Amino acid sequence: MGTRETVASAPMDLSERGSATARHPWEIERFRAYRNVLRDHGALRARRVLDVGAGDGWFSESLLAELPDVEQIVCWDINYNELELATDDPRLERTTVAPAPGFDLVLVLDVLEHIDDPVTFIDESLRPLAAPGTAVLVGVPAHPLLFSDHDRALGHFRRYRPRDVLAQVGGWIDVVEHGPLFATLVAPRAASVAVERIRSRAGADAAPDTGDHGVGAWQGGPVLTRTISGVLAADAAATRRLGRVGRRLPGLSHWAFGRVR
């Protein structure tokens, strides 16, 4: 499989677009958790950043304020249309084609699950873009048993066991820390998947598909948003502390930080 074909086979989560003013609590706390990982490993001194499968670019736009030395963040997503390629900040670039190499930080967040052959994608599309020592943060949806119609609607090929994502990225980066994210969301997702499977076995009609599969569908008010954000923030902090002493709870996502070999 060639590089161009590999990249073209990786639809990203532009289906999860959110509004500029009402982001999903999951998205807000995911950003804060990953920002903290980058900060703790000294990766926020980057001058040139690549956000692979950047979607609407909210993560990168939010990260700009945390990068004191940044000169450019490239949001690379094959699904941008002509209007979405424009940006308001000259430091932020959006592109549908492979960018020039030479990045100090590479973000691969909720991307690999969209790709049929992630190892080839890493070897042929990502490896040429960053030199040894470049910081890399990878995040994926966790636990195959939680795979559901939600994943299918978003174009996911799989959910990952932690050891599987570490094996996939291990030939590219030396992982220095990894861990789960959002353990409190595992039980609700498991219950939802169980109900879905019971209905499927019983031959029940599926609920109408409204297209509201992603975080862009959030319509909660400010009180609910703050409440859920508080729970998820505490969750992210606690699961990371536990992970650092070798006690990794199951999380809805799993992430790995390392540096290119």
Per-residue pLDDT of 45-88, as tens digits, reads 999 999 999 999 999 999 999 999 999 999 999 999 998 999 99
Q: Name the region of 42 (left: φ>0; alpha: ψ -120 to 50; beta: rest).
A: left
pLDDT at 8 over 80: no
What are the DSSP calls for 207-221, one per residue? PP--S--SGGG----
Q: Kindly state the average pLDDT of the residues 28-44.
A: 98
Look at strands 48-52 and 72-76 and give their pairing: parallel
The CA-CA-CA angle for residues 102, 113, 73, to 5°, reads 30
Q: Kindly state the average pLDDT of the residues 23-46.
A: 97
CATH number of the domain encompassing residue 15? 3.40.50.150
pLDDT at 213 over 70: no
- State the total domains in the chain: 1
pLDDT at 201 over 60: yes
User: What is the predicted pLDDT for the residue at 2?
Assistant: 40
Residue percentage of the chain with pLDDT more than 70: 87
Nearest Cα neighbor of 29 from 241, 215, 245, 201 is: 215
Q: Where does the pLDDT of residue 216 fall: very low under 50, low under 70, confident under 90, or very high at 90 and above?
A: low
User: What is the predicted pLDDT for the residue at 204?
Assistant: 63
Distance, CA of 184 to CA of 116 (rounded, Å):
29
Q: Where does the pLDDT of residue 221 fall: very low under 50, low under 70, confident under 90, or very high at 90 and above?
A: confident
Residue percentage of the chain with pLDDT more than 90: 81
pLDDT at 7 over 60: no
- Residue predicted with more confidence, 219 or 196: 196
Distance, CA of 64 to CA of 59 (rounded, Å):
9
- Residue predicted with more confidence, 26 or 5: 26
What are the DSSP calls for 96-122, one per residue? SSPPPS--SEEEEES-GGG-S-HHHHI
User: What is the predicted pLDDT for the residue at 238?
Assistant: 97
User: What is the predicted pLDDT for the residue at 20?
Assistant: 45
Give the residue numbers spanning the domain of 184.
3-204+212-260
User: For the chain, what is the mean pLDDT?
Assistant: 89
Q: Kindly state the average pLDDT of the residues 199-204.
A: 82
The CA-CA-CA angle for residues 34, 40, 41, to 5°, reads 95
Burial 86-99 (b: 16+ CB within 10 A, else e): eeeeeebbbbeebb
Q: Kindly state the average pLDDT of the residues 9-18.
A: 47
Distance, CA of 167 to CA of 147 (rounded, Å):
20
DSSP tally for the chain: helices H, then strands E: 8, 7
Consecutive H or E run containing 231: helix 222-244
User: Taking the CA atoms of the chain, what radius of gyration do you get in angstroms?
Assistant: 18
Q: Kindly state the average pLDDT of the residues 213-219.
A: 62
Per-residue pLDDT of 222-231, as tens digits, reads 899 899 999 9
Nearest Cα neighbor of 114 from 37, 52, 182 is: 52
Q: Kindly state the average pLDDT of the residues 145-152.
A: 96
- Residue predicted with more confidence, 15 or 137: 137
Partners of 48 in the β-ladder: 72
